[in-house]
Amino acid sequence: MPRVVALLLAAGRGRRFGSDKRLARLPDGRGLLAASAERALQVFGEVHVLLRDEDDAQALGLPAACRIIRCREADQGMGHTLAAGIAVLLGRDAEAVAVLLGDMPWVSADSLQRLCSQATAERIVYPLHDGQRGHPVLFGRSFWPQLHGLRGDQGARALLQANSGACHGIVVDDPGVLRDVDRPEALL
């Protein structure tokens, strides 16, 4: 199995939610971000969580095994956040990075393992459920320089479009790959 490290994006403001959704409680009582991190730790030996400078990882309920990356430019958009994370990972020995979202705790461990098994340094791998592309997206190491150059709020969408021949959708029977939390009612 290729070595894949996880990059959990949690530096955004989530303004549509109305409060800090990272602290929002799931029906089982766990915090949203903490649950997402716990799921990542079930599959990945190395989980990096991107936070804003002022964030307190302990107050957010993050497990001690998570490695924290501070993103000073988080308010400038997801592109800046991704670039900050990749800057830290460039020195790591890994074939791919799984870019996970901090508001998606329902992705199954089986789906994550299946995606990792298909990752290579030259591929971009993502889940497909009911014909829709979901998260996380795994970027092979050859795409890390492009991720490092991202800016603004576009994230990696343009990178996916520019490298469509390297993209591999993996069909999964997991609605969790499509389920994120933008508003409080999505927690139910």
* Per-residue confidence (pLDDT) for residue 13, from 0 to 100: 75
Token pair for residue 56?
């307190």
Residue 136 has what DSSP assignment? -
In the chain, beta strands by DSSP E:
4-9, 47-51, 67-70, 96-101, 124-129, 132-133, 137-140, 167-171
Check residue 78 and give its pLDDT: 85
- pLDDT, position 6: 97
- Strand-pair partners of 6: 47, 98
CATH architecture of 4-187: Alpha-Beta Complex (3.90)
Res 2: pLDDT: 59
Each domain of the chain, given as residue ranges in start order, spans 4-187
Tens-binned pLDDT, residue by residue, of the chain (188 aa): 459 999 999 998 777 787 889 999 999 999 999 999 999 999 999 999 999 999 999 999 999 999 999 998 888 888 889 999 999 999 888 999 999 999 999 999 999 999 999 999 999 999 999 999 999 999 999 999 999 988 887 778 889 999 999 999 999 999 999 999 888 888 87
Q: 46: alpha, beta or left, given left = phi > 0 and alpha = psi -120 to 50? A: beta
Cβ-based neighbour number of residue 184 at 10 Å: 13
Instruction: State the SS3 of 103-133.
Output: CCCCCCHHHHHHHHHHCCCCCEEEEEECCEE
Distance between CA atoms of residues 38 and 18, nearest Å? 24
d(CA 135, CA 39): 13
Largest CA distance in the chain: 42
What pLDDT does 1 receive? 47
